[in-house]
Amino acid sequence: MHRAIAAWLTTHPWRAACAGAICGALSPQMMLPFMILAGAIPVLAALRFDARTALGIAATGAAAAAWVVFSASQPLWWILAGILVLFFSPALLALLLKRTGSMNLCFQVAVLGSAGLLIMVYLALADPVAVWTELLLQVLDSMAAAGLRIEGDRTALVQVWARTMWGALAALTLAMTLGGLFLGRWWQSLLQAPGEFGREYRQLRLGLTLGAIITGVFILALTTESPLAASLAWIAFVSLAFQGLAAAHRSKAGGRLNRGWLAAIYVLLIVPLSMSITVFVLAIWGYADNWLRPRPGTSH
């Protein structure tokens, strides 16, 4: 089915543009799966056609999403910035992949880019936490007006949430970006080189330098009250979870993990009640894999 979808999208570029616009318009209401689909279509176009076509399709999807958001309310500036990042970053990473042939490099660049954007937000805003404090209080007021009660100290709860909301948003952006990149690359490989994406994905690795940086982030998040360190920890967890998922696929390919267990991992990732603990376990697996897996060329 996915091969047929990829073939249909690449028969004529206008088909990809129309599909991108539809997914873009639906993504504000339902990020999964439409946000990932909206990112995957420009990735497929970048790998099959050229940069101009891919960026044009990404712009079509972004315009459709922005139109839906504008029609509902007057969006904040960072929402519009987020739309641009979500729709254009998968296509830009695909162009990097097309030029270098390294999926792992794209993975590392995406992680560094997400962290860089998050740091820029904290440098640009006088009080990044206060931005979310006001918004979260409004959300709680709306919930109370609708008859939904939140137990406990509302102020303390908002402070805890607001402290890392920028990090949660950056982590979600990273997940959507990588999801679009991986899906688009898989589609392209189905048409040109079946099985090649699987080999690339199983070799994902943050590397020793990023691994050391992530370790430092975790230490700072645990030993200090820095909102930036706590927010960067969100990105670290998501990036490690992707590597952990790659390690799971590698274990399945090597016969050490049953196919049913791999399917169970994906089911747990999409079930809200189990998603957090599954990401946490995958992150631990990814952290261990990053440090314990022999590097290429290392003798066993």
Question: For position 80, what pLDDT does the model report?
Answer: 85
Do 104 and 181 belong together in one domain? yes
Is residue 3 within 8 A of residue 11, CB to CB? The reply is no
| 207-223 and 227-253 helices, crossing angle to 10° | 140
Within a domain: 124: no
Average pLDDT over residues 231-247: 97
Q: What percent of the chain has pLDDT over 90?
A: 73
Average pLDDT over residues 263-292: 93
Distances (CA, A) of 249 to 135, 266, 269: 40, 11, 15
Within a domain: 186: yes
Q: Is 105 exposed, middle or buried (0-12, 13-18, 19+ CB in 10 A)?
A: middle
Do 175 and 198 belong together in one domain? yes
Residue 163 has pLDDT above 60, yes or no: yes
Do 99 and 199 belong together in one domain? yes
Do 222 and 267 belong together in one domain? yes
Question: For position 299, what pLDDT does the model report?
Answer: 41
**More confident position, 115 or 292:** 115
Q: Which of 165, 206, 185 is nearest to 295 (CA)?
A: 206
Going by pLDDT thresholds of 50, 70 and 90, the confidence category of residue 272 is: confident
Do 245 and 196 belong together in one domain? no
Q: Is the dihedral of CA 88, 94, 95, 96 positive or negative?
A: positive
Within a domain: 131: no
Domain end residue (candidates: 149, 180, 204): 204
Do 60 and 195 belong together in one domain? yes
Average pLDDT over residues 232-259: 95
Average pLDDT over residues 72-84: 78
Residues 6+ apart with CB under 8 A from 17: 56, 57, 60
Within a domain: 182: yes
Going by pLDDT thresholds of 50, 70 and 90, the confidence category of residue 73 is: confident
What would the pLDDT profile of 189-210 be if each residue is shown by its tens digit? Answer: 999 999 999 999 999 999 999 9
Do 40 and 180 belong together in one domain? yes
Do 74 and 41 belong together in one domain? yes
Within a domain: 265: yes
Do 174 and 270 belong together in one domain? no
Within a domain: 123: no
Question: For position 295, what pLDDT does the model report?
Answer: 64
Q: Report H helices in 49-76.
A: 51-72
Do 215 and 258 belong together in one domain? yes
Distances (CA, A) of 244 to 22, 90, 157, 210: 32, 21, 31, 15
Domain end residue (candidates: 204, 231, 255): 204
How many domains is the chain built from?
2
Domain membership of residue 60 as a residue range: 1-116+168-204
Q: Is the dihedral of CA 184, 187, 193, 199 positive or negative?
A: positive
Domain end residue (candidates: 178, 204, 230): 204
Within a domain: 245: yes
Do 195 and 244 belong together in one domain? no
Question: For position 238, what pLDDT does the model report?
Answer: 97
Do 212 and 193 belong together in one domain? no
SS3 content of the chain, % helix, strand, coil (to 5): 85, 0, 15
Residues 6+ apart with CB under 8 A from 142: none
Is residue 222 within 8 A of residue 256, CB to CB? The reply is no
